[in-house]
């Protein structure tokens, strides 16, 4: 199975759901990951480069000053040309963003997949057309995956073939945090206890919560690892015990988590976080860290309900939850976390997704054959 993926996310920005899934897809088929366009001096062209995973990343390079209509037409031509030149005319079209529909809606495909990992229309700066284009995409796709249970509940009535695939984890990768003995250089001057977070630092974070926790416990150190996006870094809470360490590679994350006493999910409760299913929750557990989170629905269910994460929303309650996490029996927590994690992996997730896509391909082919057989001469 070959895949042409249309995404709003840069492949090299943060290693998350698309990277986990499509790197696995590239083991037994060709994968072309089409990013959003970049303006440049020169004619429209498609810049294609291959990653170690086998995934080909395609970036439309469009002339400065192109109108919206010109951008759509250029991308339509470039992607159609790539599919012809790369012999991808029988590929699966795999969408992460409905915004790609205007320049791909005439492409033929073995099957069309929508992996709805977030409610993009709720994010800061979301285009007004996004909801309408998503509705149009639902009318074209053969199978829909959602990035969590809450998102599944919101989308399941909009298509006849919707399946929930919550965040998964590469247990072996993050479990190395349990035995890592060194410290990255930018951790060595930070005191303990350390309460850490990794991920994109954006409008989904509860900055008042961070300020409140830092002020309530000046001897604790809040460590945030990750790039900033869609916010002004100058507006971030600043204190002697809040440390912003910037973006780190996926390979480095276990080293950083190993240096933390508690892992946190300090998400705000707003429209942008209403349907999120943070991938980092099982990653923290695999790394052997206790977890404290705000009441994000897909963290409360199942992690909070099964005692795998403490849930708190106010600075006072968050402090109390961290204190309880610092004092808990680590062995009992690890046993419970490991039992839960035996049922989840990105390998397993991809296998189940692949089966559903294969079934959709078979059903679509059967429908086409049936229509051909029944067609009047």
Give one DSSP letter per residue of 155-179, joined into a string.
HTTS-SSEEE------HHHHHGGGT
pLDDT at 367: 63
Closest to 111 in 3D by CA, of 135, 85, 132, 141: 141
Please state the φ and ψ torsions of residue 126, each to the nearest 5 degrees.
-65, 135
CATH of residue 128: 3.40.50.2000
Measured CA to CA, the distance from residue 354 to residue 255 in angstroms comes to 32
How many CA atoms lie less than 13 Å away from 209 in the CB half-sphere? 19
pLDDT means over runs of 10, the chain (377 residues): 96 94 96 97 95 97 94 96 94 96 94 91 76 94 94 93 94 96 93 96 95 98 95 93 96 96 96 88 97 96 95 98 95 94 94 96 72 40
Residues 147 and 214 in one domain: no
Residues 296 and 211 in one domain: yes
Residues 245 and 316 in one domain: yes
Residues 225 and 148 in one domain: no
Residues 212 and 104 in one domain: no
Residues 50 and 102 in one domain: yes
Residues 183 and 97 in one domain: no
Residues 37 and 60 in one domain: yes
Number of H helices, E strands in the chain: 12, 15
Helices 346-374 and 17-25: angle between axes, nearest 10 degrees:
60
Closest to 303 in 3D by CA, of 259, 258, 344: 344
Residues 240 and 181 in one domain: yes
Burial code (b: 16+ CB inside 10 Å, e: under 16) for 140-163 equals: ebbbbbbbbbbbbeebeeebeebe
Residues 125 and 215 in one domain: no
Q: How many domains does the chain have?
A: 2
Residues 123 and 178 in one domain: no
Give the range of the structural domain holding residue 264, as residue numbers without chain letter. Answer: 171-341
Residue 159 tokens, joined:
């298509």
Residues 45 and 180 in one domain: no
């Amino acid at each position: 199975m070959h895949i042409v993926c249309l995404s709003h996310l840069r492949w090299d920005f943060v290693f998350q759901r698309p990277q986990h899934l499509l790197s696995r897809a590239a083991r037994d088929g060709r994968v072309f990951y089409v990013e959003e366009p970049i303006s440049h001096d020169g004619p429209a062209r498609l810049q294609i480069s291959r990653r170690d995973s086998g995934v080909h990343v395609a970036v439309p390079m469009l002339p400065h000053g192109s109108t919206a209509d010109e951008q759509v037409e250029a991308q339509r031509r470039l992607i159609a040309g790539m599919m012809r030149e790369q012999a991808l005319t029988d590929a699966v079209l795999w969408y992460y963003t409905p915004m790609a529909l205007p320049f791909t809606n005439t492409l033929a495909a073995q099957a069309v997949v929508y992996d709805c990992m977030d409610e993009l229309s709720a994010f800061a700066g979301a285009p007004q057309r996004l909801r309408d284009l998503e509705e149009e995409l639902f009318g074209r796709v053969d199978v829909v995956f959602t990035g969590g249970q809450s998102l599944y509940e919101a989308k399941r009535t909009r298509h006849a073939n919707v399946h929930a695939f919550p965040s998964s984890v590469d247990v072996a990768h993050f479990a190395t945090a349990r035995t890592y003995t060194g410290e990255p250089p930018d951790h060595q001057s930070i005191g303990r206890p350390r309460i850490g977070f990794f991920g994109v630092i954006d409008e989904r974070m509860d900055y008042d919560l961070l300020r409140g926790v830092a002020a309530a416990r000046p001897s604790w150190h809040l460590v945030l690892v990750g790039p900033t996006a869609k916010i002004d870094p100058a507006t971030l809470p600043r204190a002697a015990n809040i440390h912003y360490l910037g973006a780190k590679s996926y390979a480095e994350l276990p080293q950083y988590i190993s240096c933390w006493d508690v892992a946190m999910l300090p998400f705000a409760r707003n429209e942008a976080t209403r349907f999120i299913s943070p991938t980092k929750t099982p990653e923290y557990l695999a790394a052997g860290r206790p977890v404290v989170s705000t009441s994000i629905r897909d963290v409360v269910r199942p992690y909070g309900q099964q005692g795998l994460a403490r849930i708190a929303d106010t600075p006072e309650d968050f402090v109390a939850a961290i204190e309880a996490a610092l004092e808990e029996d680590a062995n009992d927590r690890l046993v419970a976390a490991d039992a839960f994690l035996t049922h989840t992996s990105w390998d397993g997730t991809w296998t189940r997704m692949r089966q559903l896509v294969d079934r959709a391909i078979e059903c679509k082919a059967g429908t086409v054959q049936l229509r051909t057989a029944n067609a009047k001469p």
